[in-house]
Structure 1
Amino acid sequence: MIDSYIQMGTFLNNRNSIYSDYEKAIEFFEMGLEVSTTAHILQRASCFEGIGDAGRYLQNVIIATENYAKAELLYRKLENYNKIATCLHRTGDLLLDQKNYTLSKSHYEKALEFYTKEKNWLFVASCLSNIGEIYVLQGRKEDGLHNFNKALALHENHKTDPKHSAFTLFEVGKLYLDSLHIPNRDKYFNKALQIVEQDNLLDGIAYGNILMANLKYNDGEYVEAKNYAKKGLRIALSYGHKIKIRMAYLIASKIYEKMGAYDEALQNYKSYREIDTQVQQKENNEFSAELETKHQVEKQNTILLQTEKEKNIAKNQRNLIIVFLFIFLFLVLILIRYQIKLKKSNKMLFQKKEEIQNMNTSLVKTVNYKNILLKEVHHRVKNNLQIICSILEMQIDSSGNSKLQEKLQTSIDRIFSMALVHEQLYSDGKDETIDAQGYFYDIINSIKSSQKFTNKKILVRLQIEAIHVNLQRALPLGMILNELITNAYKYAFDYQSDGFINVSLKSDGSYVFLDISDNGSGIDLSKARTNSIGLQLAKDFTTQIRGTFTCFVKNGTHYKIAFPMMINTAKIS
């Protein structure tokens, strides 16, 4: 049955037959594929090739390229090099029609390798001629002529079917179309026409007559040119090749114009424009399809290259694959025989799944419990630190030494900034980060409270962005803030009754910037470097978070700290 479908499709695919019907041919090949099995490799390959041919004749690039690629894969399994080359050759023809010269040439060259391996000199010559045509279209006429001559030599040396050399002769003749100094330049056309007319090749006859019309038109022999154009047009119309019909109408309009027959010239030009519009519309509709075709062809080439690499391995594994097939069939029989056991296994798997789900639930509870414990740890650390602060405050109350009281208060402020971190971690944070905005407000409020014994009016102005930092950065950052704000309160306003302190915390996504400044008298940097413990602590904590510390005096003291948003905490000592 499948062979009958292939025969009918092949009969309808004959370009030189009055019974040709390419769309009907596709239907027969598709019916052949429907009744075929995977064992019918050769027949399926023939069906795909036939659909590709029909698509090519219908100028449907997508149908043609996809089916040639499928046929090529099957022919590679059969190691049928001639057919592999044929699929590559015809795909190259399609790409050449689409003016994709690079990809078309690549396909011709691959086909050339397979044809040469099989010593199929007829199609070796055909590929050489096609590549020569590409060279000419790219403006490389010398390379094109070289390929044409190689093709003609192969036709002559191997006595191939003369009709296949006709199109090569046409291409050589086209190179001499405008070269009046070449003796007997139309001999190529005449010889080619003689061959195609002898074998009644409609496509070749139409093409040859249109080319001869161009040749005679260029020579000024308008009557002969008209006869050739009319004959070419008539034959092209008989088998419906729009591109050649368009060529014929165009040259005919030019000829009639030179002959002064303006009505005929206008009529032919209108026909040319009408068919040109149809062709252009088709080309526009297929433009996006061309891009997809290129992608599919490149994808297919990648698959083919991989297939070629795996071919030798596949040869050595054929017997092993047969053994595997028998084992597979045996296993299928076992599976059918023990379906009840399989159901039982599925039930057990379901029970295991429930056990795993229960374990996951238990793990979630464990994690939640550990998080609660971690928060409790932070809570207790915070409480312990507050106890220490309370003890120090009691020491302040019992001490009559003002300097000792001041130092104890400084220690309390430092410990309080650490306690705040742990307070936020157990009270607000869902993870091991804290909100720098709330943290800064709490530290500064604490410092302001501890400095309330001063009778100076000091305004603290804050611009704090909502930035989250982890424990490893929060503690040093709080200590830096504590030391620098405390220093400002203590030393910046010795000679002023009021002033302000500006605190800014911003981020650009990569770095965090902390700026602290006042409008006080400014510190003596030379003495501060050696005498100020607070300033030294601020620098040390900045180093700990991989930051940079800058201090300068201009209408007050300015501190600028910058550190990276993300820090490798494993490297922090």
Structure 2
Amino acid sequence: MMHNLKLITALFFVLLLNVSAQTSDTDEVSVLTEFQNTNGSQNRFEVFFNSVNRYNINSAYDWLDTVKVYLSNAQKTSDTTAIALYKIMETQLYNDLGEYDKSVALAMELYGQKDDLQNSARKRVLDVLDDNYSNLQLYDKQIEIRKQKRELGYTDNVAFYDIYSNLGLHRKARNQYIMEVKPTIADNDSYGLAKYHSKVGNYLRLDNSAPTALSELKKAKAYLDVFINDISKEKTEEQLFESELLKAEIEGNIGKCHVLLSQYEEAIPLLENSIEILNSSSNKMHKGEIIDNTLNLADANIQLERYRDAKRSLDIDFENISMLQSIKRNSLLAAYYDKIENFRSAATYYKRNERIKDSLAVKQSSIIKQQLVTIVANEDLENSQRLIDEQKRINELARSEMKAKDERINLVFISLIFTLLGFAGLVYAYLKSIKNQRLIAEQKHIIENALVEKDSLLKEIHHRVKNNLQMVSSLLSLQTKNTRSKSAIEALEEGKSRVKAMALIHQKLYQNDDLSVIEMQGYIESLINSVQSVYKKGGHNISITIDAEGTELDIDRAIPFGLILNELVSNSFKYAFPENDENGKIYIHLRKNGEQGYFEYTDNGVGLPDDADERAHSSMGIRLMNRLVNQLQSKLNIDKASEGVRFWFNFS
């Protein structure tokens, strides 16, 4: 029912766009026609940059031809103001067409004459330079442009979060975005909150934190629905159009999260709807979103063995596709040809990716690293200078206050020296108290900074440990692909699953505000999702109940516990339901009250074999669990039932 409602909504929106386009063709003139019917270069400049969608009917090439005619006429009459305005429009058109080098050359020529430009024109030149340098990955130059924007009063702060994201530092981008943008959004600004949570969710998705990203993106969608359905506030046509585009962007990112979580059926309708609506936008950012959504749609269809639908998406001839998108497209084409057993074509696309990656490593790696150093240095310098200036201001204010206070004290002392000698000791004690308080405050500030630095270092350590464990998991995956022995493959997969369980502990730690404990309900859910991704053909119909809400464990207990649970769930998925897992049930219970804890795991599968006690001495899984339970200073208990099995133990 929900799917049908979304489909009807999408069809209604497309119909509305078609009706609007037909109305524009019959009753309204295109933006280009309005531009041509407007008198004066300044007025045409306003029409060009203030239109909601200047390419509603005419393409950027049509615009470029028209602007060049006006520019030629202005040059013939030596109208310097008009020449500058038309050149700025020409610069923006080359940017929209993806010809960034031409756009940069024109913009730099114009910026050399910035003193002759009006304020609005100068800002447009800086904006297009900013966008050009971003697309050309010249982030150090982009920073310089943003600093000039701040110096000219176009912005209060230099924003770095989008540049960090472009360099792959999505977690740092998210943290800076939250710090700079969250305080500027009012609690009743539902549209602003929708954009905020959408951006945070997308940074989390890019940082491979799909479950957390999904939560943020659903918040964004909820806030956007409030904005759209709020009939008390009148909305312009432009606001409604932008809202629909934002909704499509959010749904596309939700779909991509479902793909990351292997929830392909849920992802497909969201991605299809997002692609259809974003196609109505002329924003270059949305063109990149459309490519990402289409590639993820192809990925989902390949996983669901809908090869014809997947190939249709992969055969689209995209314009301005990025290097990373090309790599992903080649990987998907190779996977597609592997699935249909056309191994020669698959090998061709694998080789293409190797050549692209080699070229990328040689040509871009050192340049981007160098720019990253420059950007971080710039940011640190900016922040340090800001702190120094602020500290100077505070010190000056403190000195002024102290000077005024000293003058008042001296005046009182001189006038009452003969009658208030008894208060001299009190004045001395007061001044000493102020000094002590100042020393205490300084020590407190040093301690707080040290604690913050310690937390940051601990988080970084946990993050690096997680990354190293993921690298081990990847190496095991590569070894699996190069191994033909079934028993060896199973052993490698089990090892990979155990490594993932430990990596997940460190991931949860660096994502927590409190680095001393892990919230086990969320960790168990994530661990089960990880195990399910290993056993793709089983375990998805099993009903899993987790009763661990509010239970927290420190890392010394959480790591052995995670490995124990990994073994139990893996065994259930592999052996407990050999015939049919539709009625399969798993119950996980974990509680810790004070110093005492209790863990129980049951399933209703086929249970343990009759010779389980004899196998326990030779089974690596049972021996591993016994050793891990011993680390928790306890003993593993196993109860056999007519259906299933029960494992339990107490721990302190």
Q: Structure 1 length as normaliser, TM-score?
A: 0.46
Largest Rg, 1 or 2: 1
Q: Structure 2 length as normaliser, TM-score?
A: 0.41
